[in-house]
Each structure stands twice: as C-alpha cells, then as structure tokens.
Amino acid sequence: MRRIFLLAFLGLALAQATYTVAPGDTLYSIARRYGTTVEELMRLNGLESFLLQPGQVLKLPSGERTHVVAPGDTLFSLARRYGTTVEALMRLNGLSSPEIKVGQVLRLPEGSEAPKDPEGKEAPPAPEPEALDPESPLLRAVLRYLGMPYKYGANSPLALDCSAFVAQVYAELGVALPRTTKEQYQAFPPAEAPRPGDLVFFSFGGKEVDHVGIYLGRGVFAHASSYGSRVVIESLEAPFYRKVYRGARRVMASPEPPPAPSATP
C-alpha cells in the first residue's frame, strides 16, 4: 500500500502542468501569462487551429530552460553561450539543419548555464525580438477589442469587420485610416518585412486583398476573424495564413483625404 501511495504521489508531482481555457482567452494571452510563445503552446498541444474553446485543457511548458532566438544568434553562438554543443541543441529540438529564425524557442540541455556578463553575474534576459512593449498604446488598444464579435460590414460598439477593427484601433491613436481593406492597402507604402504596428493583408477569395489585421511582432497578428467570429490574435506563420498572405503596409501617417469634387459652373 505504501508503495502504491508513493507511486501515485510521484505521478502527481511529475504530471504535466495544464491550464483550463476561460472565456476570452487566446493562445497569445496564455503565452504571455506563462512566459512562452503561441508556437510552443501549439507544438506542445498538437494544435492545428488557433481558436480555443472554454473548458479546453492545454498543456503548459515544463520548467526546462529555453532560449528565444534573437537577431544574430546562431546554434554555434548559443552552444558556446550555454556550454553545450550544436549537435546537442539540434537533437534536443528535433532540428534537421542548423538554421534557426528570430523568435524561435529552443530548449536547452539540463545543466546548461545561464549567460554571464564579464563580471560573472547572470545576465538579464534579452528583450523579445520585434515585440511590442506590453504598455504600448497600440497593444493596449488591440487588447480592448479581443473577443468582440465579427460581422461583415459592421462598424459599431457591438460588432466589427476586419477593416473596421483596424481603423478603430488606429483611431484611438489619432490616426485616420480609410474604411475598407482595399483602400487601406492602397493608402500606405509596402513593408518588406512586417514590424509591430504594420497592417498585414490577405486574399481569401482570389488576387484582390480582402482581409486585414495588425502585426504585433514575434509572428503574431490581431484581426477580426470571420472564421472565429470574433477579434483574435493568431500566428502569421500558420500554413493557412502564409498561403493567402499578400504583404504588409506601414502606417507612416494619416493618409491624405481624397480631394473634394470640383463644383460645376
């Protein structure tokens, strides 16, 4: 009996930490709360969709050490920093090549040391690459709309469509955007790689852009989703969105209003 009790206790102690999804939760908000990423939560839970259901139980990352890849990082530099080898990092993370990308979360071998500064003290964690400051006015405005219902053509306190959501967020920042997705796409200069705050555009129905969202950094964007029927935060790296992605536009300033029609004599 004592042996059974001990095994049961150990089983509970080693159980995977979990989180039960509450109304209004998104993968992005859960990732922020538990210091991980949307991509890691999806990998850990075998998720193919970014939509969550209240009551759904998600596995959370264990207490293992991880490193978020920053610009300029290589497997060789990380192996030296953490006192391990390139081969060990590749094996632990299931990598088939030594190529890594910014924002990628790498698991570190047990016993790996934290990076040290020249005085031998533990260095502070590096800031998240290409991420909005949690207190930025743009992100705070976006978060206020999370969960708001989507409705095609809507622009009201009760429901929004994708272009209305984008326009409402920027209106709170004092920037006037055109009303429709196509007009927003044409109003601003293209951006080779999206930065936080850029508008990201998609074409679900063909060649013309017909959907827009706001890029938040680290591979995620906010949008009023017709599929989720609400404002959500999802990954731009998801195969579905990569297939229909049509580029980013940088909101430099409020676009010029169209000239008024000339009066006829």
In angstroms, the CA 99 to CA 23 distance is: 38
Amino acid 71: pLDDT? 65
Looking up tokens 């016993």 gives 111
Which one-letter amino acid corresponds to residue 39?
E
In angstroms, the CA 78 to CA 258 distance is: 52
Q: Which fold has domain 16-63?
A: Membrane-bound Lytic Murein Transglycosylase D; Chain A (3.10.350)
Asked if domains 16-63 and 64-110 share a fold, the reply is: yes
Looking up tokens 């207490």 gives 63
Q: Nearest-CA neighbor of 109 among 85, 73, 80, 77?
A: 85
CB-count exposure of residue 89 (10 Å: 0-12, 13-18, 19+): buried
**Domain ranges for the chain:** 16-63, 64-110, 137-249
Does the predicted model carry a pTM greater than 0.85? Answer: no
- Span 139-191, pLDDT tens digits: 889 988 988 999 998 988 889 999 999 999 999 999 999 999 999 999 999 99
Amino acid 232: pLDDT? 87
- CATH superfamily placement of domain 64-110: LysM domain (3.10.350.10)
β-pair partners for 225: 230
* Paired tokens of 232: 């959500």
In angstroms, the CA 68 to CA 103 distance is: 6
* Catalytic positions: 162, 211, 223
Amino acid 217: pLDDT? 84
Q: What is the dihedral of CA 243, 197, 32, 60, to 10 degrees?
A: 10
Q: What are phi and psi of 128, to 5 degrees?
A: -60, 130
Show pLDDT as tens, one digit a residue, over the chain (265 residues): 544 433 343 333 334 578 888 877 777 777 766 666 666 777 788 887 667 888 888 888 766 677 777 767 788 778 777 777 787 788 888 888 778 887 677 877 765 554 444 444 444 444 444 556 667 889 889 988 988 999 998 988 889 999 999 999 999 999 999 999 999 999 999 998 899 999 999 998 877 999 999 998 878 899 998 877 889 888 888 888 888 999 999 997 544 444 444 444 4
CATH class of 137-249: alpha beta
β-pair partners for 171: none
In angstroms, the CA 169 to CA 139 distance is: 9
